[in-house]
Structure 1
Amino acid sequence: MEEGMLTEKEIDAVRQRFPYCIVWTPLPLLSWFIPVIGHMGICTSSGVIRDFAGPYYVSEDNMAFGKPTKYWRLSPSKTQFSSWDDAVHQASEEYGHRMHNLCCDNCHSHVARALNLMQYNGSHSWNMFKLWFFVMVYGKYVSFAGFLKTWVPFIIVCVIVGIIVGCSVGLSRH
């Protein structure tokens, strides 16, 4: 193997190892109504998940809202400024001293910070919206069970709302 050439590390969903990936999982209640909203983390080169799990806390290897249901595999060869692991570590250290804000400074912001530090794909303008879009478009479900965990609660809510609306319309006609 040539010097500096990286080997592709295997994803192991059973052990929750996703080298060079961004991982995503649904948020209880919120994802039941809007299934594309969820919780995000970034993995080290060995696949260990780091996620901004709450105020002043970045978890390691224990995602705040359960096992990942989706992942988006990135290429470590597209890092331009620092190493992948150094950037993930630095972003995690920084976010370990931050207040969590659901709308403005959250798990997506933590992942964006890591990508900006490494200048992934030549960019230093990663943000939560860009990440959300790419994970939704390019992300793959970990398994069929991951797909179900994401979408079944939403379908159940839609069925319940449909039944309630249908019943109320039916009652108002009488």
Structure 2
Amino acid sequence: MSEQLPAPRYADGPPPGAVDQLAGPDRPVSPDEGEQDLAELDKEAVNALRAAVMRLSRRLKHQRVDESLSPTEMSVLGTLARCGSATPSELARKEHVQPPSMTRIVAMLEAKGLVRLDAHPEDRRQKVVTQTEQAESMLAAARAKRNAWLTELVQELDEEDRATLRAAAPVLEKLAHL
């Protein structure tokens, strides 16, 4: 007769797929174990998503039109393009930087002719930062270059992967704005 081994015990729960292996006619899978498997799969998916987004982001950052601008300066210009004119304090909040840092960034962008500072319509103590036409055209060129590069990559995918990517794009956009 073969000896039956005791079921293994796991400190943090069984690894993915282990519940299926342990389940059988003598041992049904409890709902909690199914949720645990889902949680483990979600953790793996989140980890894979994080790593892929970071690698893709790094590669996209190398597709630059103007090497004289830092990624932070480009981000501020992108925020102005997306959200419109803003005070330096509002930009600092949106970009998650300290107000003194944003003041320096805005000063550098102004010196490069990419933003202009206007008087705030309601509070003369404040300034409103607005991007210039030069910044708009530079951002358009940067977007075009990055889109062209990304299009080349996407063309290497099969149709099923491209369909998956089209379906995932709105979800990724939603995640980016949560």
| TM-score bracket for this pair, using the shorter chain length | under 0.3
Normalising by structure 1, report the TM-score: 0.23
Whichever structure has more strand as a proportion of its residues is 1
User: Which structure has more helix as a fraction of its residues?
Assistant: 2
TM-score (norm. length: structure 2): 0.23
